[in-house]
A and B are shown apart, each in its own frame.
Chain A
Amino acid sequence: MFEKIVFQIIAFDELRTDFKSPIDQCNPVHARERLRNIERICFLLRKLVLPEYSIHSLFCIMFLCAQEWLTLGLNVPLLFYHFWRYFRCPADSSELAYDPPAVMNADTLSYCQKEAWCKLAFYLLSFFYYLYCMIYTLVSS
């Protein structure tokens, strides 16, 4: 999961910055590469959306079964956010999330990047929290 988020961050960063020199950016050959890159990244991003959401929901269900109310409470906001994100996508086309023309908008891009950083922090913290809880349970039992 962390890897995924880290990848997301890298991906957005890649989308945002074009490392080639400005003159090279104007080169038509570079245009092709760049476009292919963008499409590949968007494709990967799209593929990762569903696994991430489902793994997270799985965790939540497990917490529910384990009656870990506090942990569940911490995770529910993110769960709802994921649901909202997933269903808010424009209906007409299935692939509009991370659609190349849309994602290249500077606003969207910075939003996605921020989102990815926040999630990274959240997952990291919760990882240590789960670890702590697990060890605590082991020790106390």
Chain B
Amino acid sequence: MAQPAGPAAACRAQGAGRQPYSNGPVQNQMMHSSDAQGYNPAVPGSYSHQKVPPHQPSGQYNYSGSPNVSQFNSYQGPGQTLNRPPVAPLSGSPVQQTGPVPQVPPPALQNSAAISSAGSFPPGAGPPMLSNWQYSQSALSHPAGTPTSHLAHGMGTGSAQPSPSLSGNTNPPGSYQYAASPGGPSLQNSYMKPGSVPPPVTQPLTPLHPPRPPLGPPPVGGPPLIRPSTLTAGPPNAQPLLNSAANQEGDATSAASDGSAVQNSYDAIEGGGLMATPHPSPAPPNLKMNRNVGYSYPALPPGYQNTSPPGAPGMQASALQYPDGSKHFHQPPLGTNHLTASMGSLSLQQEGLRPVNLLQERNILPTTILQAPVPNLHEDIQKLNCNPELFRCTLTNIPQTQALLNKAKLPLGLLLHPFKDLSQLPVVTSSTIVRCRSCRTYINPFVSFLDQRRWKCNLCYRVNDVPEEFMYNPVTRVYGEPHKRPEVQNATIEFMAPSEYMLRPPQPPVYLFVFDVSHNAIETGYLNTVCKTLLDNLDLLPGNTRTKIGFITFDSTIHFYSLQEGLSQPQMLIVSDIEDVFIPMPENLLVNLNENKELIQDLLRTLPQMFTKSLETQSALGPALQAAFKLMSPTGGRISVFQTQLPSVGMGALKSREEPNQRATAKEIHLTPSTDFYKKLALDCSGQQVAVDLFLLSGQYSDLASLGCISRYSAGSVYYYQSYHHKHNPVQVEKLQKELKRYLTRKIGFEAVMRIRCTKGLSIHTFHGNFFVRSTDLLSLPNVNPDAGYAVQMSVEESLTDMQVVSFQSALLYTSSKGERRIRVHTMCLPVVTTLSDVYAGADVQAITGLLANMAVDRSVSATLSDARDALVNAVIDSLSAYRSSVLSIQQPGLMAPSSLRLFPLYVLALLKQKAFQTGTNARLDERIFTMCQVKNQPLVYLMLMTHPSLYRVDNLTDEGALNINDRTIPQPPILQLSVEKLSRDGAYLMDAGSVMFLWIGKSCGQSFISQVLGVPNYGSIPQNMTHLPELETAESIRTIAFISWLREQRPFFPILYIIKDDSPLKSSFLQNMIEDRTESALSYYEFLLHIQQQVNK
């Protein structure tokens, strides 16, 4: 801890002095421990509030005021009214506020340095308080008017701001946490009422920055409010600080931790009118402040530096645009695109447009994973833009009119992964969530501030007022900077929804498991695996004390299990009337997990043995689902169904429709459901907030097309384990275990709805994914899970004239497993272009492929598979011929494509060869339909991997260019083209096809690889069905295993590794994935290109 010099010490001293104010002895301790942070003692009382209701998780900001402020009042000037004391000093020394730049800097610097060092402490080592950061205003707590306080003041604020950069340097990213409340619910951290912070605090900040511009403007350094999303679950202490903001919070921590005594709330203050003195001139200080701020952050997007005086260093762009800016908050940035973007990313866009002759350039596949194209925006806006993994558009340059879009012949749409597990997610608790009054858009980084009090919605262009509490920025602890609030600095943010977002109490997590126990099911032995996995993960199920769980089994009858408290063992109730299902007893079938854990464990242990003698072969899935639905409908929740055969009795019985001889003819296959029983039931489930997840472990045809509807419309997910058998197919057992573990322990959101909004003029017309569309733009998602992706198609309804950018916002409202209502908001901003060449330059080939795949699934269901295939090929032909005729000025021979679309034919060919769309006899109907489900429901990354596998050479892995993660070295071999000509006999190749991996060993593969990685003496002794690599002590083995497990860790499902030789039966599956080669029923890549060229040149 490098303690800063005098000033900081002074602060400390002050803090010590203050202690009386601080709540309790605990706090005092905290404060002491927090010396490093210097002044923070003063803060504590002021903004922390303790009103934390138990249900609130630790890591959030509270903006809402807590009731008791009284202690502080004396010196704290909340909001405008209370400001007096601080104000007085200010007014006394106006110079200091604005002018002080030269004076203040040194202390500030010191201070910031100190802080950063403080921040860098490993959390564990530090005093407990480190984990808690609060946004409190340190400055306020200082006695007004004393010179020292002033100084401290400056320091405090100064430190807050610059520190991001500093800390950014020192600390590993991702590590800071805002809210942790280790002690328990009471310790929540919060920053309080935004509105009330006296403006003066901010002033000192300005000076600080100029000295260290290189470090980067705060927004860059780290979005202030980020904290790991996992925080709530994890031990709070674990998080190291990330940025200065965090540090400050850290300072404040003491306040937070003391929590119990010092609750002050802004509201209370204002209401109480403790310091009733009117605040005469709030505005002027703010203005000054703003100006200063603008000055101080040269790198900020011009929009944010509102009113910098022209000619300020580093500010050219903004200065140009807003010469008059001194009075207004303009959010220029969006507009600036044109100026800066045209210069900045010109080269990049040009690259996207460079014509490529596909017939001549053979090596177009990049050797690393293809990244999403970067939209052509001003870099400051781009920095704020949503992560492409979460939100992606097929055209990163949006065409201005529908005519232009039609001309480009490319689909316009979005691909979303809204509930992805994030390592850093800012969470904001606020009593009011700022939204546009007409279109209900959440405030986001791309809105423009007309002045301090008004913002203009970027979707409908309505001008809204900035609410009072939004004026206070909890991160910098500055009043009057609404444009620096976390909501305006992060494109991805999560709100804790206040009570008006829940009209019924949030539902408890309820899990119901429905097991098939017919003879066939027992044969496969799946029940053992599932019960064991469930037993192991019972404590890891997401939930809280309200979690409920229940079990149903069925063959031709339905069995319920009463888990009533006091029973010595679970009691089985059999209902044999499957025509009119009823629930034998209303209570005790769904029981509290924690209170009845022993009984549940008992049941899970005995369940697999209970039916071993069963000879019942019928399966009454339909009635069982009806029973499950009846059981769940009062609460909502998740039903997990395990099914191993075609349902044969009762409602929803199905007949086998697959005729093996007809697999080849694309015309006759049954992709549509044969009954709408499952669809209707799914809609009923959706209405009652119940989702059904289907695990199909079946050797024979089970009509997934019909069964899958139950998950599709209730927003569940489908898992398919073909020919599952515990003895005959042991690799499937491991796969089921691993995937079930992930399934049981992953995050889950209940009773969710998602709405996607876009700028006026664009309209969304089709949605893809698992959900029910409840009104034209509202998706009903009874459950939402982190592994689900969605896609939407859009059209340009009114031309986007005069708009330089458009924005898209997805808002997902859900109940977390802890019973909180939360809203996760993603916002993306994209430029609008007027020329066809720009549209092509911004095409995102992966997103286009993903969207086309979704559309093709719809097409094959509504029309035929061959129609869908034709449509895919036509998509390539149309877009390339449009490019040729409209953009290319010189007609060259060959097949020309813009560089951005150079992989388009390859990916479409890959789609045509994928299981969902391929022709030929090798795809079973259920498998094909399962792949279609995956296309609809997988996020883009996994979809692309499944479509176009990655091929690596692994026998010569080196550490060159390797990644280092947690002390593991992960080699990064280049990706090879999927062609047999890239394979050589003396190598070993790993093909990663998403849900399966193949390790192909060449015939004359190096002896060292075979012995040191595979652990067998020679090629001939490699076993036929080897599926695991032995863990050997050799460097090669460690590298290979590290690489494979790294690949596996990145996805939510578990790919089986098959090690194959030339004579392995699986070799054909391996070769099937060689997309560039010719197969019995499909063209090779070169032939495909020739075909396209022929059509294009027609």
A residues near B (Cβ < 8 Å) are 16-18, 22-32, 34-36, 38-39, 90, 92-93, 95-96, 99-101, 104-107, 109
Q: Does B998 contact A (CB under 8 A)?
A: no
Q: Does B968 contact A (CB under 8 A)?
A: no
**Within 8 Å CB of A105, what residues of B?**
765-767, 773
Complex-state Cα separation, A99 to B686, whole angstroms: 15
- Nearest CB in chain A to that of B755: its residue: A22
Minimal beta-carbon separation of B896 from chain A (angstroms): 33
- Nearest CB in chain A to that of B674: its residue: A92
Are A35 and B774 within 8 A (Cβ)? Answer: yes
A90 touching B440 in the complex, CB below 8 Å, given contacts A28-B751, A101-B713: no
**Within 8 Å CB of A109, what residues of B?**
776
Complex-state Cα separation, A22 to B501, whole angstroms: 10
A29 touching B503 in the complex, CB below 8 Å, given contacts A92-B673, A93-B672, A101-B683: yes
> What would be 12 A-B contacts, judged by CB atoms less than 8 Å apart?
A17-B775, A23-B501, A25-B753, A27-B503, A27-B504, A28-B636, A30-B503, A34-B687, A92-B670, A101-B772, A106-B765, A106-B766
Minimal beta-carbon separation of A111 from chain B (angstroms): 10
Task: Point out the residue from A30, A35, A92 that lies within 8 Å of B683, measured CB to CB.
Answer: A35
Interface string of B667-698 (1 = CB under 8 A from A): 00010111110010001101111000000000
**Within 8 Å CB of B765, what residues of A?**
105-107
**Within 8 Å CB of B687, what residues of A?**
31-32, 34-36
Minimal beta-carbon separation of B768 from chain A (angstroms): 11
Q: Does B473 contact A (CB under 8 A)?
A: no
Complex-state Cα separation, A18 to B755, whole angstroms: 13
**Within 8 Å CB of A99, what residues of B?**
676, 679
**Within 8 Å CB of B684, what residues of A?**
35
Interface residues of B, count at CB 8 A? 40
Q: Does B778 contact A (CB under 8 A)?
A: yes
Task: Please indicate which of the listed interface residues B679, B775, B862 has the most CB atoms of chain A within 10 Å of its own CB.
Answer: B775
- Nearest CB in chain B to that of A27: its residue: B503
Looking at chain B's contact residues, is the secondary structure mostly helix, strand, loop, or mixed? Answer: mixed
Task: Please indicate which of the listed interface residues A32, A39, A101, A105 has the most CB atoms of chain B within 10 Å of its own CB.
Answer: A101
Are A26 and B764 within 8 A (Cβ)? Answer: no
Minimal beta-carbon separation of B811 from chain A (angstroms): 9
Minimal beta-carbon separation of A43 from chain B (angstroms): 11
- Nearest CB in chain B to that of A39: its residue: B683
Minimal beta-carbon separation of A104 from chain B (angstroms): 4
- Nearest CB in chain B to that of A21: its residue: B440
Minimal beta-carbon separation of A141 from chain B (angstroms): 53
Complex-state Cα separation, A32 to B675, whole angstroms: 23
A26 touching B674 in the complex, CB below 8 Å, given contacts A18-B775, A101-B772, A106-B764: no
- Nearest CB in chain B to that of A90: its residue: B672
Minimal beta-carbon separation of A100 from chain B (angstroms): 6
**Within 8 Å CB of A16, what residues of B?**
775-776
Q: Does B763 contact A (CB under 8 A)?
A: yes
Q: Does B500 contact A (CB under 8 A)?
A: yes
Are A90 and B862 within 8 A (Cβ)? Answer: yes
Complex-state Cα separation, A107 to B765, whole angstroms: 6
Minimal beta-carbon separation of A12 from chain B (angstroms): 11
CB within 8 Å of A: which B496-543 residues: 500-504, 507
**Within 8 Å CB of A95, what residues of B?**
676
Q: Does B860 contact A (CB under 8 A)?
A: no
Q: Does B780 contact A (CB under 8 A)?
A: yes
B residues near A (Cβ < 8 Å) are 440, 500-504, 507, 636, 670, 672-676, 679, 683-684, 686-689, 713, 751, 753, 755, 763-767, 772-778, 780, 813, 862
Are A24 and B766 within 8 A (Cβ)? Answer: no
A31 touching B774 in the complex, CB below 8 Å, given contacts A39-B683, A92-B670, A107-B766: yes
Task: Please indicate which of the listed interface residues A29, A32, A92, A96 has the most CB atoms of chain B within 10 Å of its own CB.
Answer: A92
A34 touching B504 in the complex, CB below 8 Å, given contacts A95-B676, A106-B763: no
Complex-state Cα separation, A36 to B764, whole angstroms: 24
A24 touching B503 in the complex, CB below 8 Å, given contacts A93-B675, A105-B765: yes
Minimal beta-carbon separation of A125 from chain B (angstroms): 29
- Nearest CB in chain B to that of A35: its residue: B687
Complex-state Cα separation, A34 to B687, whole angstroms: 8
Complex-state Cα separation, A111 to B674, whole angstroms: 26
**Within 8 Å CB of B636, what residues of A?**
28
- Nearest CB in chain B to that of A92: its residue: B672
**Within 8 Å CB of A104, what residues of B?**
772-776
Are B778 and A25 within 8 A (Cβ)? Answer: yes
Are B676 and A26 within 8 A (Cβ)? Answer: no
Minimal beta-carbon separation of A128 from chain B (angstroms): 34
**Within 8 Å CB of B683, what residues of A?**
35, 39, 100-101
Minimal beta-carbon separation of B1074 from chain A (angstroms): 35
**Within 8 Å CB of A96, what residues of B?**
676
**Within 8 Å CB of B501, what residues of A?**
23, 26
**Within 8 Å CB of A23, what residues of B?**
500-501
Complex-state Cα separation, A35 to B681, whole angstroms: 12
Task: Point out the residue from A25, A93, A101 that lies within 8 Å of B775, measured CB to CB.
Answer: A25
Extra inter-chain contacts (9) besides given A18-B775, A106-B765, CB under 8 Å = A25-B778, A27-B503, A31-B751, A31-B774, A34-B775, A39-B683, A90-B672, A101-B679, A105-B767
Complex-state Cα separation, A89 to B524, whole angstroms: 40
**Within 8 Å CB of B674, what residues of A?**
92-93
Minimal beta-carbon separation of B882 from chain A (angstroms): 23
Q: Please list the 8 inter-chain residue pairs (A to B) with the smallest Cβ-Cβ separation, ordered nearest first.
A: A18-B775, A35-B687, A104-B773, A27-B503, A92-B672, A106-B765, A32-B687, A107-B765
Are A101 and B504 within 8 A (Cβ)? Answer: no
Minimal beta-carbon separation of B757 from chain A (angstroms): 10
- Nearest CB in chain B to that of A103: its residue: B773
Minimal beta-carbon separation of B495 from chain A (angstroms): 13
Minimal beta-carbon separation of A84 from chain B (angstroms): 15
Are B776 and A29 within 8 A (Cβ)? Answer: no
Complex-state Cα separation, A90 to B673, whole angstroms: 10
**Within 8 Å CB of B502, what residues of A?**
27
**Within 8 Å CB of A35, what residues of B?**
683-684, 686-687, 772, 774, 780
Complex-state Cα separation, A10 to B429, whole angstroms: 42
Task: Point out the residue from B507, B672, B679, B813 that lies within 8 Å of A26, measured CB to CB.
Answer: B813
- Nearest CB in chain B to that of A93: its residue: B676
Minimal beta-carbon separation of A3 from chain B (angstroms): 26
**Within 8 Å CB of B675, what residues of A?**
93
Minimal beta-carbon separation of B275 from chain A (angstroms): 36
Complex-state Cα separation, A48 to B859, whole angstroms: 28
A18 touching B504 in the complex, CB below 8 Å, given contacts A28-B689, A101-B772: no
A29 touching B773 in the complex, CB below 8 Å, given contacts A39-B683, A106-B765, A107-B766: no
